[in-house]
Amino acid sequence: MKTIAGLGKLLATLFWCVVLANLIDPYAQPFAQLLMLAGVAVLALHAAEMLLFNRLLSAQPSAGVARMNVLAFGMFHLWTLPGVEHTSQPVSLEEAAHA
């Protein structure tokens, strides 16, 4: 899981670098607009993730840094936080009812 999270963070960093480069020197149209739309959409999704996992993020020693990392990397950062349960097998309905 750490390998996938690390690769995801690397790809997210490259994505944000391309979005930032587009802000500094816009690419040819319509690519500039499409890239900006994708950047806004990803940022909105990461903000929604931050709201959904607010309790987990508040429990972190450096909650502000964790929130900024979620805004940048989304689920790839959430997977690396302690307190997130990682199950490799799906939970059956019977097990969920007993929990």
Supply the pTM of this predicted model: 0.72
Give residue-wise pLDDT tens across range 3-42: 887 888 899 999 999 999 999 988 888 888 999 999 999 9
Average pLDDT, the chain: 81
Respond yes or no on whether the N-terminal peptide bond of residue 30 is cis (omega within 30° of 0): yes
**Highest mean pLDDT, choosing among 41-45, 52-56, 77-81, 92-96:** 41-45
Contact of 53 with 78, CB cutoff 8 Å: yes
Q: How many residues are recorded in the chain?
A: 99
